[in-house]
Structure 1
Amino acid sequence: MEEMVASAVVQEAVSGAVSFLFSSRGEKASQEELMERLEMAHMRLNLALERTRMMPITIMTLFCLKKKLKDVSKECGDLLSRARDRQQMVPSVRRKIMHTVLPSFIVPSQDVLSSSLVGRFERFVKEADRYVRDVESGCSLSHYRFLSSPIRHLLQGKGLSYDMVQGSKAFSLLVLTGYMEEYGRVAVLKFDYKDRKAPLKNCELTLILRIYESTNIVGITAKCLRSLGPQFKSLVEDATRELTQLPTQDVSYFDSVWWESMVKVTTDWNPDPFWCIANGVNKPCASNIISSELTGRFPQEVLFVRFTFSFSASEYCFRSSTDEARINAIKAWPPPQMKVYFAPHLSFGFHDGSSLRQKEEEIQTEAIDCFIRQPGMTEYNMVWTSVHGIVSFYVLKQIAKTRRAAKRRR
């Protein structure tokens, strides 16, 4: 009886092992087929990204789609790598039989691929094909004919310049453009406003920004000027008025030159090109980004802002000194120069706990106080950091020209 039971158990085990081996062969064939489909999907995703790598993207939504396809391609490549590693770890026949004979030790199937999983990437391939068609149609020159003149020329890689002199006032605007694969069409804009009769109204504004079909470059520049803080209000009013009244028919266009230094500034001040366009196209920054005082000041396209101006030291010296002789000496100083650097999308990962408005209100007074206490010091700087965005302030004490030096120059 015992021999019959033992024989039956062995026969059942052998039968189960054979059945397992045949089913395993079928599963292996299925895994190989899925592997081929996944490899094809990965190649097609990479092909779409490679074909459009140097094509100028002029619509923000396409940047969001590009980011998604890059993430999917990476996910597909990682899965493919794991599947290949799994394929090389084929269990021995003996272990398969042991799993069949001892069902309590059977390990669940660890196959990496499934039809539904591979099908997901194949669906993304169709989206990638549509993405390529959308980018290619956007690159057609005829596509720009419906856009306003300035943005049409800038998207086509042209530069822009405008100069105006009227009495004591001089106004200039220069825009250089270039294309960077991860950032799209990027412009460096320099706006310069000078008034010989009122030197304290002189200011310079430099912007680095992405440009899309919907970009109003004059409007963005004006908004950046207005976003500099209430203490700069009177300073930028004249400059903003001149800018918004810019006669576009008098603007000159030329073949733009894109220098390596511009690329470096762009990448240094905005190292992650997709940081703020991963989600929420119509929001200043993506919904997964922690907001700060700086986030809402500038449009999402703006990567970097530099604002330079001069101010009267006497307006701030009364807060720093009560010595009349010292105050008179300060009044004789040439107007100190101040430079403010805004990086709306750069982060050191922490907040210094202070208010940006407070820093802007304190910087000039603190700089004058420092120059009074340390007469040999000619530069004072302060940095404001947040989780999202940083600002750097620099106040430069100008050296008064002596009469002797003036005679030597003559």
Structure 2
Amino acid sequence: MREMVASAVVQEAVSGAVAFVFSSRREKASQEELMERLEMAHLKLDLALERTRMMPVTIMPLLRLRKKLKDVFKECGDLLSRARGRQKVVPSLRRKIMHTVLPSFIVPNQDVLSSSAVGRFERFVEEADRFVRDVESGCSLSHYRFLSSPIRHLLEGKGLSYRMVQGSKAFSLRIWTVSVEEYGRVAWLSFHYKDRKVPLKNCKLVLILRLYESTDIVGITAKCLRSLAPQFKSLVEDATEELTQLPTQDVSYFDSVRWETLAKATTYWCPDPFCCIANGLNKPCASNIISSELTGRFPQEVMAVDFRCWFSASEYCSRSSTDEARINAIKAWPPLQIQVYFLAHLPFELTGESLLVIFNHLSVESYQHGSSLYQKEEEIQTEAIDCFIRQPGMANYHMAWASAHGCAYFHVSKPITKTRRASKRRR
């Protein structure tokens, strides 16, 4: 009886071993096939991303789709690496016997790949193919012919230049563009307004913004001017009026060279390319960061604002103070220059480092966090004048403001008045 039981056990084990060998071969062949399909999907995703890497994507949903495909490409690569590592492991004879004799729930199947997992990436390859076609058709010249002339040329990679001189007034607008991966087409806009008869009306505005097919360059620039502090309202009215009457037929275009500095600034000042965008809609912040006074103040496309102008210290003090001695002390001062920077999408943890990058000479007299930005904008001139009175030899006053989402930097400078004796000595 024992011999019969032993024979049956041996026969069962041999049958199981033979079945295991054949099933292992089939599983191996299946895994090799899945591996080949996964490698092909990985290559095609890489191809789609590489073909569109330097193309000027100008529609936000396409930018978001490209980000999704990039995440899927990384996920596919991680799975492929694990599968390749699994192939290098050769099961021992003992483990083969355990697979045959013991139930599968004790020795689980260690295969990494499955048909459903590979099929998922193959479906993303089909989406990637459609994405490439959409981007290529969007980059064609025929696609842009329906757009207004300025935005069409800018999206094609051209720069824009315009200058007008009328009497004592001079007006200039210049735009350079660069293509930045995941951000699309980015522009550096420089706008100057000068009046020789009224120097206190002179101002300069610099914007770094993303360009879409629906972007209204003039409208966004005018909105940024109007979004400045109330004390600049009368100053920018004339500039805004000239800007909104820009004759687009008189602008000229030039080949805009690639600006590495602008590309680096874009990724540094706005680390999240989809900040304040969720499901295609403008939100306080897509990553649930606490909103600040900068949220919604400037259009979502705008990443950085640099505004500078001049003001009379005596006139400003006469409106805010009745101290005659103080007013008389600064009547001889030349106009003071104020420069304001806004970085609307910069996380708080990068604020200090970014200010050091922008101003390597930074010496901030006041660093505010959590206070009201509007209040600081109203106080900056008075605080700077007070500082200059207390320290006559001081020529620059700095103040920084930061929130959980976005920061601002103020710089007031007082020209150094040369004495007559010093001028004679230099002669």
Q: 1:78 to 1:105 in 2, by over 3 A?
A: closer
Match of 1:31 in 2: 31
Match of 1:332 in 2: 332
Match of 1:397 in 2: 414
Deviation at 1:257, TM superposition (A): 3.5
- Secondary structure of residue in 2 paired with 1:276: coil
Match of 1:80 in 2: 80
Match of 2:15 in 1: 15
Q: 1:123 to 1:285 in 2, by over 3 A?
A: farther
- Whether contact under 8 Å (1:275, 1:345) holds in the other structure is no
- Whether contact under 8 Å (2:339, 2:411) holds in the other structure is yes
Q: 1:277 to 1:373 in 2, by over 3 A?
A: closer
- Whether contact under 8 Å (1:349, 1:388) holds in the other structure is no
Match of 2:287 in 1: 288
Match of 1:121 in 2: 121
The aligned amino acid for 1:395 is V
- Whether contact under 8 Å (1:320, 1:368) holds in the other structure is no
Q: 1:309 to 1:121 in 2, by over 3 A?
A: same
Match of 1:354 in 2: 371
> What percent of counterpart residues are identical?
77
Q: Does 1:69 align with 2:86?
A: no
The aligned amino acid for 2:335 is P
- Whether contact under 8 Å (1:289, 1:388) holds in the other structure is no
Match of 1:174 in 2: 174
Q: Which runs of 5+ in 1 are unaligned?
A: none
| 2: CA distance, partners of 1:128 / 1:12 | 51
Deviation at 1:184, TM superposition (A): 2.4
The aligned amino acid for 2:376 is K
Q: Which runs of 5+ in 2 are unaligned?
A: 352-368
Map Cα deviations across residues 239-269 of structure 1 (whole Å, 9 max, x no partner).
1111111111222222234444433433442
The aligned amino acid for 2:60 is M
Deviation at 1:104, TM superposition (A): 8.8
Q: 1:285 to 1:34 in 2, by over 3 A?
A: farther
| 2: CA distance, partners of 1:146 / 1:105 | 63
- Whether contact under 8 Å (1:346, 1:389) holds in the other structure is yes
| 2: CA distance, partners of 1:265 / 1:404 | 45
What is the total number of aligned residue pairs between the two structures?
409
Match of 2:403 in 1: 386
Q: 1:229 to 1:319 in 2, by over 3 A?
A: closer
> CA RMSD, aligned part only?
2.7
Q: Does 1:369 align with 2:368?
A: no
Q: 1:130 to 1:71 in 2, by over 3 A?
A: same
| 2: CA distance, partners of 1:178 / 1:219 | 21
- Secondary structure of residue in 2 paired with 1:55: coil
Map Cα deviations across residues 339-371 of structure 1 (whole Å, 9 max, x no partner).
111112222338932222222222222222222
Q: 1:399 to 1:177 in 2, by over 3 A?
A: same
